[in-house]
Structure 1
């Protein structure tokens, strides 16, 4: 009998559909707050072979809120909070690094309150879809804490340094309209349509050229850390390698033949 790799998960529901790995946070009673178990499960989910080989990863949250960050009740109960946070972030950050490094695009669907590490998860998205009621806040300063989950790295790159300072130091709460205008979110979705729209986008991406998408993700993220000359060289090498793939041959043939490309089929 084949062992179900998701059987021991209690904080995340994992499903596969049409090439999409869906990671659904299922702690709605705690507004999907991140405790040690959830951080561990997120890493385990990211390490699953089927997740790594999918065409797209879709991250969603159950209930009215996507994720409000760390579980403050667990923080209060910890005997040694500094050690507790070090342990949680070791798993959480490893999961985020894994998701960022995957060839598969990451789609995040965010509704309701998005705060702390939940904001970091939103920042990590390649495509961020938000419900029109969504709000985004840093929340760390009010707790006397500092950012984690990539927020201090990605937020200023997405919205600009001044706006990131506005959120992290002055506590500004960004609404859905601002999140799209400032460059955090990709699209604002009408109420009640977020999950449907997110799956549509994820399925569309899953049907695309995953290897090319992965290299495009890498090129975009690395562009902030090196010179134009170095980046141009990388673009040339990467483009040349991509041109030799079956996906490129299919894409060029489909364009010339005025038909839709049929890239690798995933289930």
Structure 2
């Protein structure tokens, strides 16, 4: 990956690590190079002993999710899905298991794998322009990246609605459902982030880490098991007839004809 473009930027100051998705020209898609760089950045935050990790993104989108053109072009789709999903799941697991408090900042749409990536944070801040979508079934795939973990935040039937109907939810709806901690006008988002990060940095690291661990373990004791089930499911569907048709239809900008 030495020749890969810079898709993630890392900065560290005063106990806070900021990890920024920088592939704005393409909507910050979840792809192998980005995941490799994102994982390296999260690990670097651990080495820097970050008390807070801020995950944000440049451009109109937090992330459009997986790059379906790469799925379509892969010579071995199953192997490609395995590697991509495994890499993304390692990132999600690192964020969930980290002693640092993770703050995600959603300024635009978080779709597909971008949705559970943002939701892997402990505190989600959103501009009033933000939207969230699980669009997997529209292209013949099953939710991935920690989507099933959203049940513990949003509730069973809300997640089923998002997964099965592909609905968008607004930042306000996500706040009302308990996913988002603050919704602010887009122009005020940076100030809101600074305020929340400052509050966290002023607190007790030991107490925050203990609170995060206790609450997360109560919600789901083994998130990696759920992530593994997601990987097996999306891999099977991606190489099946509906997965191939859904991806092709999306790229060709036509309605899919599923079996």
Q: 1:200 Cα deviation (Å)? A: 2.6
Question: Per the alignment, do residues 187 and 63 of structure 1 end up closer, same or farther by CA in structure 2, a change over 3 Å counting?
Answer: same
1:144 to 136, 140, 147: 140
Q: Following the alignment from structure 1 to structure 2, what is the Cα–Cα distance between the partners of residues 195 and 51?
A: 26
For residues 97 and 225 of structure 1, the distance between their equivalents in structure 2, rounded to whole angstroms, comes to 12
Q: TM-score, normalised by structure 2?
A: 0.80
* 1:171 lines up with 2:166 in the alignment: yes
Contact 1:19 1:203 in 2 (8 A): no
**Cα distance, 1:9 vs. partner?**
7.2
Partner of 1:197: 192
Query: Could you tell me how far 1:73 is from its partner in structure 2?
Result: 2.2
Matched-pair contact (CA < 8 Å) for 2:95–2:121: no
Question: Are positions 1:86 and 2:82 aligned together?
Answer: yes
Q: Hey, what's the Cα distance between the residues in 2 that align with 1:206 and 1:149?
A: 28
Residues 40 and 91 in structure 1, CA contact (< 8 A), matched pair in contact too: yes
Query: Could you tell me how far 1:197 is from its partner in structure 2?
Result: 1.6
Matched residue SS, 1:15 = strand
Residue 264 of structure 1 is matched in structure 2 by none
Unaligned segments of structure 2, at least 5 residues: 222-259
Shift of 1:224: 3.2
Instruction: With the length of structure 1 as denominator, give the TM-score of the two structures.
Output: 0.78
Partner of 1:47: 43
CA RMSD, 1 decimal: 2.0
Which has the higher Rg, Structure 1 or Structure 2? 1
Verify the 8 A CA contact 1:64 1:111 in the aligned structure 2. Answer: yes
Residue deviations 1:74-95 (CA, integer Å, cap 9, x gap): 2222112221111011111111
Distance in 2 (alpha carbons) for counterparts of 1:152 and 1:94: 16
* Alignment coverage as a number of residue pairs: 220
Task: Select the residue among 128, 135, 143 that pairs with 2:131.
Answer: 135
Structure 1 residues 225 and 29: CA distance shift in structure 2, 3 A: closer
Contact 1:110–1:134 (8 Å) recurs in 2: yes
Segments of structure 1 that go 5 or more residues without pairing to the other structure are 1-7, 227-267
SS in 1 for 2:178: coil
After TM superposition, the runs of 4+ consecutive aligned structure 1 residues lying more than 6 A away are none
CA contact (8 A) 1:55 1:207 kept: no
C-alpha separation in 2, matches of 1:194 and 1:84: 36
